[in-house]
Amino acid sequence: MSPFPLGRPARLAVLASGRGSNLEALLRAFPPEDALGQVVLVISDRRGAPALQKAARAGVEAEYLPWPKGEGGRACFEEAAGQLLRERRIDLVLLAGFMRILSPQFVDQWAGRILNIHPSLLPAFPGLHAQRQALQAGVRETGCTVHFVDAGVDTGPIILQRRVPVLPGDTEETLSARILEQEHLAYPEAVRRVLRGEVQP
């Protein structure tokens, strides 16, 4: 059963490892005065991630949590992240260019309340370098997918997809840029659908 709608603005957290372009789209879509939801926390596993700087400039709490090397690195990160998410009373977790695989235990704690965006039309081309995979496969179209996160890699229930053509002469860079434009539209729309209770895992 979906916990949404809440009857109040949802508290959103974004996990990002890199430049934060999807984070920017989410910050624009869910500003402090939004009645449906607000981005109140951004977490990154990389100290110098531009995503943290963008969050701070927007007046959103930005936290660096290290992912230590070695066997216990993931558990260490997830313990710290879980505590922070609980303390900030987060309702929905959004993975936006977060380049780590979370444990089944962590995902299970947030079942139905954690989303991801992926640059392909899942189930096609899961995992890394999805745009390169699409070019190598010779497909005529690809796109992006917003989905609920489960214990697998890019395997959770799909919320929505947006399609783009693969053009003659496309490179990984040109195709990635075209998909990214659609990601910036798809992710906020998918979050709205979840927060309204229109979709559930």
Selected catalytic residue, list 118, 129, 147, 184: 118
Q: Please answer whether residues 22 and 44 qualify as being in contact, where contact means their C-beta atoms are separated by less than 8 angstroms.
A: no
135 among annotated binding-site residues: no
122 among annotated binding-site residues: no
Which residues are 18's β-sheet partners? none
Report CA-CA distances (Å) from 110 to 4, 5, 13, 158, 168: 13, 16, 12, 16, 41
46 among annotated binding-site residues: no
22 among annotated binding-site residues: yes
102 among annotated binding-site residues: yes
Q: Please answer whether residues 21 and 180 qualify as being in contact, where contact means their C-beta atoms are separated by less than 8 angstroms.
A: yes
158 among annotated binding-site residues: no
116 among annotated binding-site residues: yes
Residues 28, 46: Cα–Cα separation, whole Å: 23
Is 118 tagged catalytic? yes
- Please report the beta strands in the chain, taking only residues with DSSP state E, as ranges in sequence order: 10-15, 37-44, 61-64, 92-95, 114-118, 141-148, 158-165
Binding-site residue ranges for (6R)-10-formyltetrahydrofolate: 74, 99-102, 116
Binding-site residue ranges: 20-22, 74, 99-102, 116
Q: Which residues form the catalytic set? A: 118
